[in-house]
Amino acid sequence: MASNYESTPSEPLQQRQLPSQFHLVTWNTFKHHIPRLIIIIVVDLILPLIIYFSLTSNIKPVYALLAAGIPPFLMVVFKAVWKRNFDSIGFIVCITFIFAAILALALDNPKILLLEKSLITGALAIIFGITLIPFRCGLGQYRWRPIVYYFYHDLVPVSRAEFGLSDSMFDDNQYTQLKDGNRKQDVPDSKEVAQVYAWIYDHCSSYRISCYLMTGVWAVGFCIECIVRYILIASHFTVNEVFLYGKISFIIIIIICATLQICCVVYERKHILAHIEHWKMENLSVPQSHPSLSTIPTQVTREE
């Protein structure tokens, strides 16, 4: 993945002398996601396996599968109620689970519940793929961006100060309204994060490329999982084997895609920081005689 930041003779010096707040530590960025990751592993993997294999010897497989799918279903509902917002992916999961449960109980066929996971990952593959299509509406006022662009908001929520973005860098017409709102009242963290990534997406081509690339990776990963699970269901495996192997294949694909996503975030962030400093040097009007211009980029904002 190539960066649009061109090296200059003074680049190593500039990067070494970036203020400490610009050096975002990877561990500090991702450590607050660990509790949520543990909860996801327990609810989506461990609990369903325990529930299914503890019940399958006593009740029909269709009821055991239905009971095993309840914890992930309740987690989606809980997140929607707790955050008080509409989650389109969670909505798909809930509707698919309810529809598959009704059909499985009506037909007494456990494989319908196994097929439900394949339908979800297939739908996710389509959704991720659709967001790769450049789309505008309302005379260009709304732009359809790759879905991984929005992942960054949640994975790496950063403020203007953390990336060294001053108010003067948001003077474009599309940011004027947001900037005026900031002066009148405190902006919620989510709104500031959206501002930061909107600016980066518009000004840093390597970041746009990484968003498209990783959205494609996730789309392919979900598509592969969908195909693998469908092959398992169509083959002569038992319900127990399909349930177990399906969970394993899903976890493997998620781990691969998530690892690539984290590596991409860490790698691209270095280019974003370098690009921001390069953009500030080229676009912010600063007297050339300023004695500390080449060593302390943050003083540019103070002088302005």
pLDDT (0 to 100) of residue 56: 85
Q: At what angle do helices 61-68 and 47-55 cross, to 10 degrees?
A: 160
pLDDT (0 to 100) of residue 299: 42
Amino acid at 53: F
pLDDT tens-digit profile, the chain (304 residues): 444 434 444 444 344 444 434 445 556 666 666 787 788 788 888 888 899 888 888 888 889 888 988 888 888 888 778 877 666 677 777 788 888 888 888 888 888 888 888 888 998 999 999 999 877 665 556 678 898 888 888 777 777 776 667 665 665 544 445 444 444 444 446 777 788 888 888 888 888 899 999 999 999 999 999 999 999 998 888 989 999 999 899 999 999 998 898 888 888 877 887 878 787 777 765 444 444 434 434 443 344 4
**Backbone torsions φ then ψ of 285, nearest 5 degrees:** -75, 110
pLDDT (0 to 100) of residue 293: 37
* The pair of three-digit structure tokens given for residue 22, joined into one six-digit string: 């610009």
Q: How far apart are CA 97 and CA 91, in angstroms?
A: 10
**Backbone torsions φ then ψ of 142, nearest 5 degrees:** -115, 130
Q: How far apart are CA 87 and CA 43, in angstroms?
A: 18
* Structural contact between residues 5 and 273, judged by C-beta atoms closer than 8 angstroms: no
Helix (H, G, I), strand (E, B) or coil at 108: coil
Helix (H) or strand (E) holding 137: strand 135-137
Q: Which residue has the tokens 């920081």?
A: 273
Q: DSSP assignment, residue 4?
A: S
In terms of phi and psi (left: phi > 0; alpha: psi -120 to 50; beta: otherwise), the region of 140 is left
Q: Which residue has the tokens 């707790």?
A: 82
